[in-house]
A and B are shown apart, each in its own frame.
Chain A
Amino acid sequence: MLQLETVRVSYGGLRALDGVDLQVGKGEFVAIVGPNGAGKTTLFRAISGVVPLESGRMLYEGNDLASVEPHDRAELGIAHVPEGRQVFRSLSVLENLEMGAQPPHARHEWKRTEELVFTLFPKLAERRSQPAGTLSGGEQQMVAIARGLASKPRLLMLDEPSMGLAPAIADQIFECIERVHREQGIAILLVEQRVAEALETCDRGYVLESGRIVLQGTHDTLLRDARVKKAYLGL
């Protein structure tokens, strides 16, 4: 579904991504873990088209993403939930979700999506007319994810959804992501610092360090890998 071939990205002379190869299959749950500054967010920004590639290729369902403008990528079925729960603060919860339903097919199915989203996040239904900026951190993260779902994506990209959340709330968020994956068959690309949780839920994972993929494999291989255990799981 999504295929990255030796992707290189530099910021002001510094190479943030140094030849990354990565694949996400249809309906697959893929996690990317790694330390701070490894290039995880940059990778997402590259896929979303916010930062330009220095070299390499990104294919989405066989089409080269280079020719697709960032705001048109949502139309292809890619939803990006950015880091740090970036909701539109003064807009109500419902308006935030409606903003997510930009692509024509998503607008068409909006009523059905709305129902689905509010079943997934009943808390948001209660607060639908409240400004998103007044919600708690966990609820804002739910708004950000729900806004991504409103675009009817086939690939949902989540950047550190648990950041700054209470452990119990982070667990809830992970459960929601799992449900979306299981029940909607949406492919998930997740970037996380909470390595244990991310690797527990994913089908496959990649370990990114200093802009390179240093390790990859299925959920079982990674959880059993000695290096992962030592460096990330603290075992």
Chain B
Amino acid sequence: MYRALAFIVSGAALFLGATWFVQDRYYQLMFTLVPIWATVGVAWNLFSGYSGLMSFGHAAFFGIGAYTVALLFVKLGLSPWFGIVIAGFAGALAGVVIGFPTFKLRGHYFALAMLAYPLALLYVFEWLGLQEVALPMNRETPAAFMQFSDQRIYVLLAVVLLVIALVVNVAVARSRFGLSLLAIKQNELAAMAVGINPRRWKLKAIALSGALTAVAGGLYAVVLLIVTPPAVFGMLASAQAMIVTLFGGIATVAGPVIGALILVPLGETLHAELGSRIPGIQGVVFGAAIMIVVLLAPEGILPWIQTRRARRRGAVTEEALALDAATFVRASGAAPASEASILLAVNDVSVRFGGLRALQKVSFEVREGEILGIIGPNAAAYTRAQEAIVRVGLAGLESRLASSLTTVELRLMEIARALAAGPRLLLLDETLAGLGASETEHVLKVVEAIRRGGVTVVIIEHTMHAMVRLADRLLVLDHGEVCAVGDPAAVTSNPAVIEAYLGKKWAARAAA
């Protein structure tokens, strides 16, 4: 927490230090726009990054903020110093207004409503005759109306706003607020089961996000002195909030800042240099940025750099899966006669996963036409074994038990889909999990028939009584190492296997 704060403050100081030497007014403006868009990105991230609900219309909040400040100044003579605070409340309210009806609905209603939100507001403001609202100059007490002849003061204000947004983000990230949002994003059903009210937290998040975005919009109006509906409610404004975040790294604190630091100057410079000849060049920049990120670093560039650095240090991150020393031999017609019956040989394969050794120097072979069952107490180990096999490009089938509506038809359909590719080796991952006794019988018959059809089968399963009947050989993995291999009857009476996997109760029941 304190490290994050120190990092934010020193980054802000560095940015302001650099600003000090910028004399050109145009570049000063750019130095103002970077923290403003970074703030919008942080605000977007605060909602979409943590809740997982994509907002395609954060321009709604940005525009409401800009118009609130401009109209209060023009119509009522209220200083932007106060106007910006009111803009924050207006943004929060706008968030609740869109969230209240749409968070009740499932599916894509929120995304669609959010897409339409700023575009609808754009036409409303045009219809109200507010095509162009200019903030009047105040000559007597300019500072009281947020008007400064030295542009660098705007940079200071924008950076202060960004620092506030970042501190809010850091505070939210590890609080009950942030954790509840992540819990909802990962598993709304389980979140509700533990008593988290998804709608309440989402409303709080969109209100906070809307408020921060509106304040940034208000500052934008003060800096540019003119507000038009397309500039603040347009698609480009919404896109910019999203893209700086996706580019930099979604659900990270620094991601939107990095995205803004790179993309805003790039877009602005190209717009200034080529805008007259190639109108819409900014859109091209954002489009290209999205494509680059999607193709090369789907998590955004910050996580991409972190993963690469971690890999260089030798530590593999949670997501990364590394095969250490793997040799896979795929027997073919050219193989020596003695190995002709071996379809796949796995030699000394080690796999690390999230710092744990999932597989350690595992060797085994799969014989042509057999049913090989793999069992073990650690689910991770043998799923890794399978992933390792899938990596060498044999036809595989994964049927995780993630789906809540697992039916026997679904399982059979999955098997059929895998068979459609005409494989010689079929990998089945917990195909029997959650099936009743009669359904298990049915699937067992199907697997037997597949083997009779000449396909070799490797099956990973916990349903032991089925495995004992189905498999020709059983391979037991314990702590990433091969614990036993051989005939099912021998393996299941092996004391080491009973100890590590089957348990004493199972042994007692099997004996009875």
Contact = CB atoms under 8 A, between A and B. Distances in A.
Interface string B180-220: 10110011011111111110000000000000000000000
B405 to A, nearest CB: 9
A150 B353 CA distance: 29
A170 B353 CA distance: 24
B196 A163 contact: no
B395 interface: no
Interface string A62-103: 000000011111110001111110111111000100111011
Given A136-B378, A166-B462, A86 B195 contact: no
B354 A134 contact: yes
Interface in B80-109: none
A235 to B, nearest CB: 10
B503 interface: yes
B193 A80 contact: yes
B509 A196 contact: yes
Contact of B376 (A37, A87, A164, A166): A166
A138 B378 CA distance: 8
Given A35-B437, A84-B404, A151 B190 contact: no
A102 B379 CA distance: 30
Contact of A88 (B182, B406, B408, B464): B182
Contact of B318 (A72, A134, A166): A134
B506 interface: yes
B377 A36 contact: no
Interface string B250-264: 000000000000000
A27 to B, nearest CB: 21
A72 B183 CA distance: 17
Given A91-B179, A99-B179, A86 B187 contact: yes
Nearest to A86: B190
Contacts of A3: none
A179 B505 CA distance: 17
Contacts of A160: 434
Contacts of B304: none
A216 interface: no
Given A48-B193, A133-B318, A71 B198 contact: yes
Interface in B464-508: 464, 500-506
B310 to A, nearest CB: 15
A138 B503 CA distance: 14
B179 A72 contact: no
- From A73, A103, A160, A164, name the one whose CB has the most chain B CB atoms within 10 angstroms: A164
A17 B387 CA distance: 39
Interface string A96-124: 00111011000000000000000000000
A234 B437 contact: yes
Interface string B365-389: 0000000000111111000000000
A75 B380 contact: no
Nearest to A35: B436
Interface in B264-286: none
Contacts of B462: 164-167, 170
Contacts of A172: 503
A86 B189 contact: yes
A170 B186 CA distance: 25
A91 B501 contact: no
A213 to B, nearest CB: 17
Contact of A131 (B318, B407, B439): B318
Nearest to B506: A167
B433 interface: yes
A148 B194 CA distance: 7
Nearest to A160: B434
Interface size class of A (residues with CB under 8 A): 35 or more
A36 B401 CA distance: 14
B179 A95 contact: yes
- From A84, A134, A163, name the one whose CB has the most chain B CB atoms within 10 angstroms: A84
B430 interface: yes
B179 A98 contact: yes
A220 interface: no
Given A90-B182, A91-B182, A171-B506, A72 B190 contact: no
Interface string A139-179: 00000100110110000000010011111111110000000
B438 A35 contact: yes
Contacts of B171: none
Given A35-B439, A82-B190, 11 more contacts: A36-B406, A36-B435, A91-B182, A131-B318, A134-B318, A134-B353, A138-B377, A148-B194, A164-B433, A166-B503, A170-B462
27 contacts: A36-B406, A36-B434, A48-B192, A50-B192, A71-B198, A79-B193, A82-B190, A84-B402, A87-B187, A87-B190, A88-B179, A88-B186, A88-B190, A95-B179, A99-B183, A102-B196, A131-B354, A133-B318, A134-B318, A150-B194, A163-B401, A164-B379, A166-B501, A168-B377, A168-B502, A172-B503, A193-B434
Interface of B: 176, 179-180, 182-183, 186-187, 189-198, 318, 353-354, 356, 375-380, 401-402, 404, 406-408, 430, 433-439, 462, 464, 500-506, 509
Nearest first, the 6 A-B pairs at minimum CB distance are A74-B195, A168-B503, A102-B195, A35-B436, A80-B193, A86-B190
